Structure 1
Amino acid sequence: MDSDDRELIANQKYLVIDDFDQFRQYLRQLLRSIGANDIDIAHDGKQALEQLTHRHYDVVYCDYNLGSGKDGQQLLEEVRSKNLISELTLFIMVTVENAMDMVMGAVEFRPDDYLAKPFNKQLLRKRLLRQLQRIEKLRPLYELQQQGELEQAITLSKQLERQLPHYQTLLQRYQTEMLMKLDRVAEAISIYQQLINQRPLPWAMLGKAEAHLLQGELQLAEELLQRLLHQNPSMVAAYDLLAQIRWRQNRIGEAEGVLQEATSLSPKNVSRQERLARAALHNGHLDVALSAARAVINYATHSIHHHVSHYARLATVQTRMGDMLGARETMSQARKEFREEDNLYLKLVKATQKQSEKRHEEAIELLQQLEQEVKGRSGLDAEFMLYLADTELALERHTEGIRILEQIAENHHDDEAVLEEVKALFVKYNMREEGQRLVERIRQRIIELNNHGVAMARKGNMSGALLHFRGALEKMPDNITININTLQVVFHAEDKLQRQPQNIELVRRCLQTLQQRAPQHPKLPMLQSQLKRILKKVLPS
């Protein structure tokens, strides 16, 4: 190993996570023997999360099995979701495990590398250097991505393609991902097609299918996914997209079947198990829904996904199966684990139980209480609101149910998955055409509303644009597009407008909404840095 390689290894900060002290010490010694100096250790997921929250690491070695509590997959998912690590941090999964559900689950969250025990110093050094050299060569690109400067990052990645032909395919993959985030879908499709023409790369086929899906080209997306699954039957993400297509085609029975195939391959993906539970419940396949709802609770415990809604769903399935004792036990467990303010779900389950017991007046009374609690409240997730609308419609409270569905569509007008669930509820209660009209009317109204505000801003009428978007936020506080446009108006306004306390508070609220509802949004880092810039003007150092 030459001096440059040894210096590269020496300049990194390392974190080793393993529940066995003997292996922690062994890996620390191996790393020191190849030049590493700054090495911290953690014995479980909780300690590792604490360390990753308070210190930056360049390289993380994490065992998959960490004993009780979080496993390596759950830790990786959480630190990525909370932006505790970026592309500049290597996350390397280490394990002796080789079970299919473990391997598939870990691969889905794309660790930078995967090391199977046992391994020696030579292998450790070779794999580490390969990844560190990639980071060093592509560091300017990763920094631009981290800052949310995706346009500049795309331009740079094209330049790097010519300078670093070894990384050409990887750089093209980054380009397509950034283009998709910027909604430049046609350009992404063009790159995907060029790559597929050269070689049918699974990730390129998957990305192109997703792009066609975003453009509403369901047939093209489906054909590509069927071809991909024929070549790569273990490509779980392809099943997810195919299930989305089936759902949008209102073929929810087939969507359920596709999701069952995916969960049999990779059962630990909580979001996928949730979708299976919802599909099976919609189709009346209560045994499948019960199994999936229990799997959600099992796999979500200790993870970032752990939520009261999982218990609410299981209790709902148990209620529909007539297992009232089981439903009560599930709700009792949920009350022990979650705060009182999280119990909106449990109150809704209670209303569903009253409905199942034919105690409709009591069920309606509970719904009316819930309506008052959620009135004017922001931050409620779409699943809860869909559940509430479903319960209202089941009790023939059509006006209330449709009003809630309208509110969901307003706050999620550009989220196709949520809009399809809205339309599915209209279909369930024999109102297919009314649902389609409502969704299209709201989508068009919000597009026009956004365009009007943006047009005012472009003409320099920042005060008018800000007033316009404030009014929109009062009615649709959780709409991502409206929150982003409000922020951009403030950030492009004159200093006097930016400095006003009410506008700084508005910016904070919008950023908080984005952090809660879209923590991975590509514009979020850039928008957060803009707030810091304004605060420096208001509070000079």
Structure 2
Amino acid sequence: MKLLKNMDLLVVDDSDIICKSSRILLTKIGFNRDKIRLVGQANRAVLECRVTAFDILIVDYNLGEGSTGLQLLERLYHEKLLAHDPIILIVTADNSATVIRSFSEFEPSGFIVKPLRVDVLTESLKACMDEKAFITRVVDSYHQAGLSEALPTLKEAKSKKIYNLALTKLCSEIISVGEDDIASRLLVNYIKANSYVRAHIMYVDLMLKAGNIEEAEKVLLPLRKANRFSVPVLELECRFQFEKGMYEQAAESMLHLHKMSPQRLPRLYALILQHVGFLANENIAKLIQELAFKSSHSIWEEPNLYFLLSWILLQEAEFSNRSTSEIWGMLTRNKKFTKPDNSLQSRLGVWSLANSGQYSAAYELLQSCEEVEECFETLFVAYHTLHVLGMWQEMQSTLQKLVAISDQEPQSLLRDIQNKMAKKLIADWRSQKSTLVTFPKSFDGLPIEYLFKLWGDYRFNIKVAEQIVSHDDYKQQEGIAGNKSLFKEVNLTIEQNKKLIEE
């Protein structure tokens, strides 16, 4: 392990006085003053962690401006900025069971109650560094010589706590190299005689991943009974219920989870997604407004989130008469629009036009929209917009991207829900596609009436558009009043395609 003077530290506290006094205390312990970064906001802390892999993070629980130390850790883990396993100390004025429990799934290295004192800080840091040094030794021995060396090293642990931490870290390393079966065997043998919750959770997680629902349930039920107030255990139960298709029970569990840990905004977002994808919920607008209110000025405030929430609200009866800009303004508290905001709102406008049957206007606006970041939210709405427009071939490529992105979500519960939503859309797409008019391999000799039917299922397809305008009966059919909107769409498709070629 590095010498104290070579370690990089990050102190996160919304009080400038506490930040500066913390630096004084840390320099007295032996840390280099120039390697101690002080920040007062969660967003700044994320930026610092993107640049520097800090050895130690000292984080205040209450960071002001809508963010907490819990949300900061959540964001850092989400962006995989803590993969190097730094020492994390949480500083709080309230060391109640509720506060400590809320951090349980992240397992910070320790908690320190304000006010900070040199002796307490020194003792806490020494204990954390001893733990980290031992865990590193166990993991290194595994990478150098495999389990034959790692397991004897593990037995040298000086306490049950260090043994538990080292075992689960070892299993994480084994899983990271694709040896899930080996990790499962280690964990199942250990949990038979030990109650360490993290080990049980890891094992159930592996069983869910392997599709062994029966084994997962066998371990989960007694674990849930013994840990009724454990947030990670309850979240695991939600994932289990969701995997079994028990959507109503999962929703109830998630609502309970939200009440236990209301600051975990991705979990509230997961609850909203579940209702959008699998259940109709009369309180969805209330949940969305709660998420938008809590996200505002927080570390989770992102345009893509407001984009999806706005799209959901546009479909609610009480918001159906409001414009996209009105709903966006309501969710963002009328903040000034940025360029990405405008691009996303344009895409909401495409969906609104398409949903009201104004296909030509929707398609024309879609072609003029600027590119947006491809993420779960934008792809999910894009799929539904293309579905309304009847652009089936584009829907297929969008679905492929949606599945790939949902697999990359680091948060387990959210990943499970997004992945299941994407797979459900694929099943729906395949089912509906089987009812479509068959797309011909050759257009030779096809009557124009067949091309019209084809257009209904493959709207704005350039191949179909070109076949219609080049058909012998085109001029005759063009004069029929009932075909006016169809030919407008066909001609618009050809015009837009020409523009793309010219560009």
Q: Structure 1-normalised TM-score?
A: 0.65
Which amino acid letter does the alignment assign opposite residue 375 of structure 2?
A: D
Match of 1:58 in 2: 55
Determine the C-alpha separation between the residues in 2 that align with 1:266 and 1:309: 23
Does the aligned pair in 2 maintain the 1:240–1:262 contact within 8 Å? Answer: yes
Instruction: Give 1:82 shift.
Output: 4.8
Matched, 1:42 2:41: no
Determine the C-alpha separation between the residues in 2 that align with 1:400 and 1:10: 56
Match of 2:238 in 1: 243
Q: 1:205 to 1:307 in 2, by over 3 A?
A: same
Match of 2:248 in 1: 253
Q: 1:69 to 1:33 in 2, by over 3 A?
A: same
Alignment of 1:124-143 (within 5 A): 124-139=121-136
Match of 1:233 in 2: 228
Does the aligned pair in 1 maintain the 2:343–2:372 contact within 8 Å? Answer: no
Determine the C-alpha separation between the residues in 2 that align with 1:171 and 1:401: 46
Q: 1:184 to 1:123 in 2, by over 3 A?
A: same
Alignment of 1:346-495 (within 5 A): 346-354=345-353, 359-362=356-359, 365-366=361-362, 370=366, 380-393=374-387, 401-402=395-396, 404-406=398-400, 408-409=402-403, 417-425=417-425, 431=431
Which amino acid letter does the alignment assign opposite residue 106 of structure 1?
A: F
Does the aligned pair in 1 maintain the 2:104–2:232 contact within 8 Å? Answer: no
Highest Rg: 1 or 2?
Answer: 2
Deviations 1:212-264 (A, max 9, x none): 11111223323433322211122223333333343344433333222212111
Determine the C-alpha separation between the residues in 2 that align with 1:106 and 1:347: 39
Instruction: Give 1:372 shift.
Output: 8.6
Determine the C-alpha separation between the residues in 2 that align with 1:197 and 1:176: 16
Q: Structure 2-normalised TM-score?
A: 0.69
Which amino acid letter does the alignment assign opposite residue 153 of structure 2?
A: L
Deviations 1:264-317 (A, max 9, x none): 111222221111111223355444322332343344445554322321232233
Matched, 1:272 2:271: no
Does the aligned pair in 2 maintain the 1:93–1:111 contact within 8 Å? Answer: yes
Does the aligned pair in 2 maintain the 1:212–1:221 contact within 8 Å? Answer: yes
Determine the C-alpha separation between the residues in 2 that align with 1:153 and 1:371: 56
Which amino acid letter does the alignment assign opposite residue 353 of structure 1?
A: S
Q: Which has the higher helix share?
A: 1
Match of 1:203 in 2: 198
Query: RMSD in angstroms over aligned alpha carbons?
Result: 4.1
**Which SS does the other structure have where 2:88 is aligned?**
strand
Match of 1:539 in 2: none
- For residue 91 of structure 1, the aligned residue among 88, 92, 102 is 88
- Number of residue-to-residue matches in the alignment: 420
Alignment of 1:101-116 (within 5 A): 103-116=100-113
Q: Comparing 406-415 with 381-390, which one deviates more in the overlay?
A: 406-415
Q: 1:128 to 1:26 in 2, by over 3 A?
A: same
Matched, 1:72 2:74: no
Q: 1:420 to 1:202 in 2, by over 3 A?
A: same
Q: 1:183 to 1:278 in 2, by over 3 A?
A: same
Match of 2:481 in 1: none
Q: 1:113 to 1:391 in 2, by over 3 A?
A: same
Matched, 1:160 2:163: no
Instruction: Give 1:202 shift.
Output: 1.3
Deviations 1:94-129 (A, max 9, x none): 011457775444343332211122454433322221
In structure 2, the gaps of 5 or more residues are 409-414, 436-503
Does the aligned pair in 2 maintain the 1:19–1:67 contact within 8 Å? Answer: yes
In structure 1, the gaps of 5 or more residues are 1-6, 436-541
Match of 2:499 in 1: none
Determine the C-alpha separation between the residues in 2 that align with 1:78 and 1:155: 36
Determine the C-alpha separation between the residues in 2 that align with 1:244 and 1:180: 19
Alignment of 1:317-328 (within 5 A): 317-322=312-317, 323=319, 324-325=321-322, 328=325
Q: 1:353 to 1:403 in 2, by over 3 A?
A: same
Determine the C-alpha separation between the residues in 2 that align with 1:264 and 1:395: 40
Does the aligned pair in 1 maintain the 2:154–2:166 contact within 8 Å? Answer: yes
Determine the C-alpha separation between the residues in 1 that align with 2:403 and 2:26: 53
Q: 1:393 to 1:242 in 2, by over 3 A?
A: farther
Does the aligned pair in 1 maintain the 2:231–2:261 contact within 8 Å? Answer: yes
Does the aligned pair in 2 maintain the 1:277–1:292 contact within 8 Å? Answer: yes
Determine the C-alpha separation between the residues in 1 that align with 2:407 and 2:58: 41
